[in-house]
Amino acid sequence: MSHALETVLYTAETRTTGGRDGRGTSSDGALDVQLGSPGSGKPGTNPEQLFAVGWSACFMGAIQLAGRKLNIKVPEDVAVQASVSLGKTSGGANYALAAKLRVALPGLDDAQKRSLVDEAHQTCPYSRATRGNIDVEIAVA
């Protein structure tokens, strides 16, 4: 199955120096973050936090698209809480990620919530990129 882009809508360009204890910047200057290793107590964000923010924002956009497709009005106070865990696989030889998305869709019935989230999980580029590669749990409230 080919995943080649037919049309490029946007390309993010960043530069990172110093790895997990360095700095990351975007080519347009909108992003300039100090990085710190998780649990190190050093100031700065970490790649797992950045991934969680990116995925939750993208997933929320996918919910909006799903709402239009399924003719379900998405509440204005929709929220997606993402938890991205860094750990080691069995045997401790390799690092891996796991993720949990908690989606709040107040005011909708359970069937509407599930329809929106299922559709969003099929179309969100982050969900598609991680499918089958990391453990993902999605809870709906």
pLDDT score recorded for residue 56 = 97
pLDDT score recorded for residue 1 = 57
Residue-wise pLDDT for 62-94, tens only, equals 999 999 999 999 999 999 999 999 999 887 789
Domains of the chain by start residue, with CATH = 1-45 (2.20.25.10), 47-140 (3.30.300.20)
Candidate from 17-21, 54-58, 120-124 with smallest mean pLDDT: 17-21
CA-to-CA separations, 72 to 68, 102, 118, 124, in angstroms, rounded: 7, 19, 13, 18
CA-to-CA separations, 134 to 49, 70, 96, 126, in angstroms, rounded: 16, 28, 7, 11
User: What is the spatial distance between Cα 59 and Cα 67, in angstroms, rounded to a whole number?
Assistant: 12
Tell me if residue 120 falls in helix, strand or coil: helix
* pLDDT above 80 for 2: no
